[in-house]
């Protein structure tokens, strides 16, 4: 579920469903019960996404910091649906109730915490303040493998394990390539494609990287088996050259690439 596109889409949907109304807030599971009481009936004033972080600002000046982590989900359900599972946080809208399960972070914070998180993040292509130049500088300033550095949230905020494999496939760069050996044009291209793919992700509410040219169809039409170039496709033929996609470990996590399209 959660790379940057998920969080920005959530911010948009939560804004639409929950602002300008008193929101019943609860924690059916109980682990957020005390804070839920503090927020119960409050009004959402602003919802902000930064990389994989979500901040909900309330009119009482409370700020709710949410990070989904690997397994967290924040999804809408009909308000009258029976409650099942480990619902840490429930926000009730008019027809829709949002259920948060398995988050890495769900806590009320002071403004200084928000500032600290924002300060620690690299540029986010989905934010107005996300500067491509900052990304290019950070790419040039590290000798780590590019496949590793793309996961560093202080280099570029919002990229995760799916996007890093897909990005490097699309620019034709081997994941082990030292970051500081990329040309400025290559870094620019990674940024531009990342921005494009993230925007597509927000729009479709899922990651689809295969281009209409390669697919012969619009992105929104592609099935789960058709939408990615490399991620989880080890042993399958590359969509561009037919060579078998390979899998390896980069920065302690699985990574996929085409040995022919991404020589190294």
CA dist 80 and 6 (Å) reads: 25
Q: Which of 26, 27, 96, 153 binds DNA (CB under 7 A)?
A: 153
Nearer to DNA, 44 or 50 (CB): 50
Q: Within 211-230, which residues bind DNA (CB under 7 A)?
A: none
Q: Which of 89, 151, 202, 258 binds DNA (CB under 7 A)?
A: 151
Q: Is 184 a catalytic residue?
A: no
Residue 160 contacts DNA per CB under 7 A: yes
Task: Choose one: 20-28, 38-46, 67-75, 188-196; the region binding DNA (CB under 7 A).
Answer: 67-75
Q: How far is the CB of 215 from DNA (least distance, A)?
A: 18
Which residue out of 9, 52, 90, 206 is catalytically annotated? 52
What's the token pair of residue 12? 């948009």
What is the H or E stretch that residue 91 is in? Answer: strand 87-92
Which residue out of 86, 95, 253, 263 is catalytically annotated? 253
Q: How far is the CB of 106 from DNA (least distance, A)?
A: 10
CA dist 99 and 251 (Å) reads: 32
Q: Is 127 a catalytic residue?
A: no
Residue 101 contacts DNA per CB under 7 A: yes
The answer to whether 214 touches 240, Cβ cutoff 8 Å, is yes
**φ, ψ of residue 239 in degrees (nearest 5):** -70, -15
Within 8 A by CB and 6+ apart from 98, the residues are: 14, 17, 18, 74, 75, 76, 77, 89, 90, 91, 92
Q: Which of 22, 60, 104, 192 binds DNA (CB under 7 A)?
A: 104
Which residue has tokens 């409370």?
Answer: 62
The answer to whether 66 touches 47, Cβ cutoff 8 Å, is no
What's the token pair of residue 156? 């570029």
The answer to whether 165 touches 207, Cβ cutoff 8 Å, is no
Q: Is 144 a catalytic residue?
A: no
Residue 62 contacts DNA per CB under 7 A: no
Q: How far is the CB of 53 from DNA (least distance, A)?
A: 8
The answer to whether 67 touches 53, Cβ cutoff 8 Å, is yes
Q: Is 213 a catalytic residue?
A: no
Q: Within 21-40, which residues bind DNA (CB under 7 A)?
A: 29, 31
Nearer to DNA, 15 or 73 (CB): 73
Q: Within 108-127, which residues bind DNA (CB under 7 A)?
A: none
The answer to whether 246 touches 256, Cβ cutoff 8 Å, is yes
Active site residues: 2-3, 52, 253
Residues lying near DNA in the complex (CB under 7 A): 1-3, 6, 29, 31, 51-52, 67-73, 84-88, 101-104, 151, 153, 160-162, 206-207, 232, 252-254
């Amino acid at each position: 579920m959660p790379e940057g596109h998920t969080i920005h889409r959530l911010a948009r949907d939560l804004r639409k469903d929950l602002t300008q109304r008193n929101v019943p807030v609860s924690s059916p599971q109980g682990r957020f019960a005390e804070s839920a009481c503090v927020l119960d009936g409050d009004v959402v004033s602003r919802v902000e996404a930064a990389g994989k972080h979500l901040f909900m600002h309330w009119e009482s000046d409370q700020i709710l910091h949410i990070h989904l982590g690997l397994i967290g989900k924040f999804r809408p359900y009909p308000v009258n649906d029976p409650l099942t599972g480990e619902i840490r946080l429930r926000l009730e809208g008019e027809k829709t109730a949002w259920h948060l399960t398995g988050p890495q972070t769900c806590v009320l914070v002071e403004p200084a915490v928000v500032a600290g998180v924002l300060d620690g993040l690299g540029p986010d292509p989905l934010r107005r303040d996300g500067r491509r130049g900052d990304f290019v500088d950070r790419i040039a300033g590290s000798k780590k493998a590019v496949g590793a550095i793309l996961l560093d949230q202080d280099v570029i905020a919002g990229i995760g394990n799916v996007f890093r494999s897909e990005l490097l496939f699309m620019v034709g760069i081997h994941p082990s390539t030292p970051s500081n050996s990329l040309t400025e044009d290559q870094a620019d291209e990674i940024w531009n494609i990342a921005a494009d793919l993230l925007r597509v992700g927000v729009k479709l509410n899922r990651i689809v990287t295969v281009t209409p040219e390669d697919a012969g169809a619009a992105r929104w039409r592609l099935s789960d088996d058709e939408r990615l170039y490399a991620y989880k496709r080890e042993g399958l033929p590359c969509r561009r050259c037919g060579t078998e996609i390979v899998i390896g470990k980069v920065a302690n996590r699985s990574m996929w690439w085409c040995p022919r399209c991404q020589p190294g």
